[in-house]
Amino acid sequence: MITLIMAESGRLYDQGDLGLASTLADRASAAIDNAKLFSELARAHQHTAAERDRLRQLVESAPIEIAILRGPDLVFEVANEPFERTFGGRKLRGLKQSALDPTGKTSVDLRQVMATGERISNRERAVHFDWDQTGVATTRYFDLTLAPMRDTAGTVDGVMSFSLEVTEQVLARMRIEEAHAQAELANRAKDEFLAMLGHELRNPLAPILTALELMELRGADIFERERTVIARQVRHVVRLVDDLLDVSRITRGGVELHLEQLDLADIIGKAIEIASPLLEERGHQLVTHISRKLDVQGDPVRLAQVIANLVTNAAKYTERGGTITVTAALEDRRVAVHVRDTGVGIPPEVLPLVFETFYQARQSIDRARGGLGLGLAIVRSLVELHGGEVRATSDGAGKGSEFSVWLPALDGAPTARRATGKVPRGNLQVRTEKILVVDDNVDALNLLSEVLEQRGFSTFRAHDAPSALALAAQALPQIALLDIGLPVMDGYELGRRLREIPGLEQIRLVAVTGYGQPSDLERSEAARFAAHLVKPISIERLHATIEELAGLPLS
């Protein structure tokens, strides 16, 4: 504000004086405002400088690698000691980022932030160093975060880089992944080995078992005791092979359940039949309390396997003349099966382990009872596949044990069961059929043929594919039993070649093989084989299959 004071002349201020005074006042006011602005700007510069100093101090004292890069050329404005140490201790201020990365591989993320103004967080990056102090090129890994920096107009003019070296963690992860991959590879190799083992074991077992059954059919009583011992031991080996292959399938998720509505009481009856030879051999008393109408949704073969394994396990670990009790009833909307024995019992510390693969809970008590420790592992897996639960209880060593299975009960009215059974054969003259038998195992070839000849069939024997093709062209058989694992040409290819022979377009093919995985059955079906028999084949199963095929109409 300007104040006007009258001088001694007494002249009054006119309009011109007032205008001059107003102009002076405006200029004075502007000068004062400018002085204030300059003062505020100076304070702002001081504050900015102080903030920048604090930021620089924070950056330089930070334990992780931090750098600030400015401009389109990404020039280092700030690079703290950890950052410079990462790059060999070079002073980086004023250098372009490209000086550290001639290939431009690591500048992609920086330029992305400059272009988009968007932050990049926790991105893992590999950085190749070819100037290592040891003279050896190395690759190191960093967890990278990049934040845009803006000028007063809001334009992105730089990037702040935060990086933390994670080389040790990444290499450790890579080692774990490699170990996992190696374990997967080893697991696949194990599964393939088990499948091959099953095939190779079944090949010699097949003629042994067939020979024993032929001896029984022929009434050879001279060596009855020896024959019985051999038959029992062969069947024991077959069970071990089946357990090995079942575990292999289960661990790979290769078990397919064929579900249908069924009464578990019927399944328990079949399971007891399977286990009855061991019960009789050891002189056990079997007590059953089984309710009817225990309807569940399940695979009848696999559920019979579960119950048979539990009863067999109880019989194996109960001293001669013991008691095995099987109870089945509806419990709280679940079907429960309890198998109780008066055997050696299970110590408390062992109970959590009894269902583990290859673990034998009572191996220290009596290893002579044999087995691979797979039965209970198979039980648990099959029960869980059915949506059920299995549990073991025991009051301790010498006090017996109880294994319990619970399965979801079916509610509501019963539904129609899936049709099963053989194709009706009617009044057929099946023994007029001619059968081609092909197997490179001479013993298996001869014994299979003899079994069929005993039933009145005409057989034609070949030990390899070329012989089989020549023989088939002359004999024109209606049925062919083909070993799948033939040399030079496998059974699937032989089957295809047989169908190309005039007059054999409708020949019925049966796969005879040691391979019994679900994928093997699918391959046989895809190759238009009418049946897939897994060695060793019982005479009863062989007869049933051949007679069924003999009754099918040609189409």
Contact (CB, 8 A) for 481 and 448: yes
pLDDT in tens, 13-31: 667 767 777 777 777 777 7
The interaxial angle of helices 224-251 and 375-385, nearest 10 deg, is 50
Mean pLDDT of 297-304: 90
pLDDT at 29: 76
- Cα–Cα nearest to 124, from 106, 104, 136, 138: 106
Contact (CB, 8 A) for 295 and 414: yes
Contact (CB, 8 A) for 165 and 142: yes
Residues 6+ apart with CB under 8 A from 480: 435, 436, 437, 438, 468, 472, 495, 498, 507, 508, 509, 510
Per cent of the chain over pLDDT 70 is 76
Q: Which two tokens stand for residue 279?
A: 């019960």
Residue 405 CA to residue 261 CA, distance in Å, equals 18
pLDDT in tens, 117-149: 999 887 777 776 655 555 556 788 888 889 998
Residue 351 CA to residue 59 CA, distance in Å, equals 59
- Cα–Cα nearest to 438, from 476, 398, 458, 466: 466
Give 154's pLDDT tier (boundaries 50, 70, 90).
Answer: confident
Q: Which two tokens stand for residue 258?
A: 């064929």
Q: Which two tokens stand for residue 342?
A: 């008066």
Beta-bridge mates of residue 453: none
pLDDT at 516: 76
Run of H or E including 553: none
Q: What is the mean pLDDT of the chain?
A: 79
Q: Which two tokens stand for residue 479?
A: 């049925």
Residue 207 CA to residue 483 CA, distance in Å, equals 13
pLDDT at 20: 72
Residue 54 CA to residue 47 CA, distance in Å, equals 10
pLDDT in tens, 519-551: 888 899 999 999 999 887 888 888 889 988 887
Using a CB cutoff of 8 Å and minimum separation of 24, what contacts does 439-444 make?
439/463, 439/481, 439/483, 439/486, 439/512, 440/464, 440/483, 440/485, 440/486, 440/487, 441/203, 441/204, 441/206, 441/207, 441/483, 443/207, 443/211, 444/203, 444/206, 444/207, 444/210, 444/483, 444/535
pLDDT at 458: 87
The pairing of strands 508-513 and 479-483 is parallel
Look at 241 and 457; give whichever has higher pLDDT.
457
Give 310's pLDDT tier (boundaries 50, 70, 90).
Answer: very high
Does the pLDDT of residue 307 top 60, yes or no? yes
Measured in whole angstroms, the distance separating CA 437 from the mean position of its chain's CA atoms is 39
Does the pLDDT of residue 268 top 60, yes or no? yes
Q: Which of 57-66, 184-193, 379-388 bottoms out in mean pLDDT, i.e. has the lowest?
A: 184-193
Contact (CB, 8 A) for 477 and 435: yes
pLDDT in tens, 404-450: 999 999 874 333 333 333 333 333 344 568 999 999 887 788 888 88
Residue 539 CA to residue 215 CA, distance in Å, equals 12
pLDDT at 261: 93
Look at 140 and 266; give whichever has higher pLDDT.
266
Give 251's pLDDT tier (boundaries 50, 70, 90).
Answer: low
pLDDT at 205: 72
Mean pLDDT of 228-239: 68
pLDDT in tens, 252-265: 666 778 889 999 99
- Cα–Cα nearest to 119, from 142, 144, 145, 97: 145
Per cent of the chain over pLDDT 90 is 24
Does the pLDDT of residue 171 top 80, yes or no? yes
Answering whether pTM is above 0.75, one says no
- Cα–Cα nearest to 242, from 299, 188, 308: 308
Q: Domains (ranges, CATH) in the chain? A: 1-58 (no CATH), 62-165 (3.30.450.20), 260-408 (3.30.565.10), 430-550 (3.40.50.2300)
pLDDT in tens, 321-359: 999 999 999 998 899 999 999 999 998 888 888 887 655
Contact (CB, 8 A) for 392 and 351: yes
Does the pLDDT of residue 96 top 60, yes or no? yes
pLDDT at 137: 61
Residue 188's identity, in one-letter code, is: R
pLDDT at 102: 63
CA dist 106 to 65, 95, 128, 281, 285, Å?
15, 15, 9, 76, 78
- For 240-256, letters b (16+ CB in 10 Å) and e give bbbbbbbbbbbbeeebe
Residue 3 CA to residue 25 CA, distance in Å, equals 10
Contact (CB, 8 A) for 326 and 344: no
Q: Which two tokens stand for residue 291?
A: 């309710």
CA atoms within 13 A on the CB side of 471: 19
pLDDT at 222: 59
pLDDT at 394: 92
pLDDT at 510: 95
